[in-house]
Amino acid sequence: MASWREALRKTRRTVRRGLGTLFGGGRPSEEAVEELEENLLAADLPARLAMELVETAEASGGDGLREGIERRLIEELGPAAPVSWAEAPRPMTVLLVGANGSGKTTTAAKLARRAAGNGRKPLLCAADTFRAAGTEQLALWAERVGCDVVRGQRGSDAAAVAYDAQQAALARGADTLLVDTAGRMHTREPLMRELGKISRALEKGREHAPEETWIVLDASIGQNAVAQAKFFHQAVPLTGAILTKLDGSAKGGAVFAVRRELGIPLLYAGLGEGEEDLAPFDPESFVRSIFEEDDEGV
C-alpha cells in the first residue's frame, strides 16, 4: 500500500518550496511571505485561512513559525477519528454518498475489504441504478474482494434496492452493509431528495439504520468541497468524510474547510486504485507530511 508520505510527496513539494527561507529564523522577507501565500493557496487551502496564516507569518519572525503553522493546521483538522470496526454496532449500515466520480464505488469495495479483515461479515449494495454499468462495476469489485453483493436493475428505484439489501443482510447474517449510491451534484434537488428516501428506506428496514453516512470527496476538488458537503449534510446528516485520490493530487487543502464548516470527522484517505489503498486518516501525518523535509532534499 502506498504510504502517506509517498502519496503526499507532491503536496509537500508544492507547499514547502517557499518555506525554507521562512522557517530558517529571522524576519521573513516580503518575497518569502508572498511565496508562502502562493504555496498555501496552491495546496487548495481556503483563501481566508491561507491569508490568516500569512499574516501570522508576517507578524512573527521565522522562529518557531513552522511549528506554529503546523499546530494551527492540525488543530483545524481536529483529533484523529479512526473507525473501530471491532466496536462498531452489529449490524451496521453505512451509506456512501458523494458527487459524480468522487470514488464511492471503489471506496465501497475497499471498505468491504477492511471490514472483512476486521472480522466482520460485509455485504455490498449496488444502489447506483442510474449510471450505465454502475451496478456491474460494484459487482466486479465485490467478486474481487470476495464479498456478496445485492444489486438493482438499471433504472429501478434505488431506495427499494437499498431496502432489499438490508433485508438480505438480516437474512444472511451480514453485520456490515455498505450501500453504494449514484453520484450526484449537490445542486440537483430531486437527486438530493432521493438520498433522503434511500436513508429512510434503510431505516424502515431496521431501526437506527443507517448507523453511518459517509461522504466521499475527491481530494482534487477545490473550494467547492464545502458547498458540496453542506448540501449533502442537509439531505442526509453526515457522520464522516473520506478523502479519495490523495495519491495523485498535489492538494488536499480543501479538507480544512470541510472540517471547519461541518465538524464531521475525516475517517479515511484513498491512496490509489487498488483494493488496499485506503488508510485511516491521520491529521498529524497529513499536516506533517505537508511540511516534512524531503529525503531527496526537494
Ligand X SMILES: Nc1nc2c(ncn2[C@@H]2O[C@H](COP(=O)(O)OP(=O)(O)OP(=O)(O)O)[C@@H](O)[C@H]2O)c(=O)[nH]1
Residues forming contacts to Mg ion in the complex (CB under 5 A) are 104-105, 128
Q: At what angle do helices 9-16 and 283-291 cross, to 10 degrees?
A: 50
Dist. CA 271–CA 244, nearest whole Å: 7
C-alpha distances in Å from residue 53, one per residue of 37, 47, 65, 75, 248? 8, 10, 10, 13, 26
**Residue 144 binding ligand X, by CB under 6 A:** no
Binders of ligand X in range 39-98 (CB under 6 A) = 98
Rounded-to-integer distance, Cα 180 and Cα 22, Å? 45
In the bound state with another protein, the residue whose beta carbon lies nearer, of 10 and 17, is 10
The position carrying cell 477545490 is 222
Among ligand X, another protein, Mg ion, none, what binds residue 270 when CB lies within 5 to 8 Å by partner kind? Answer: ligand X
Q: Which of 186, 270, 279, 290 binds ligand X (CB under 6 A)?
A: 270
Nearer to ligand X, 93 or 228 (CB): 228
Report in angstroms how near the CB of residue 95 gets to another protein at its nearest: 20
CA torsion sign for 153, 154, 157, 158 is positive
* 16: partner contacted, choices ligand X, another protein, Mg ion, none (Cβ within 5-8 A by kind): none
Distance, CA of 170 to CA of 219 (rounded, Å): 35
Least spacing, CB of residue 262 vs another protein, in Å: 17
**Nine-digit cell at 153?**
436493475
Q: Shortest gap between Cβ of 8 and ligand X (angstroms)?
A: 12
How near is the Cβ of 135 to Mg ion at its closest, in Å? 9
Binding mask 88-117 for ligand X (x = CB under 6 A): ----------x-xxxxxxx-----------
Could you tell me which of 131, 135, 113 has the C-alpha nearest to residue 122? 113
Residue 2 CB, nearest distance to another protein (Å)? 12
Binding of ligand X at residue 199 (CB under 6 A)?
A: no
C-alpha 5: how far from chain center: 17
For Mg ion, the closer CB: 105 or 289: 105
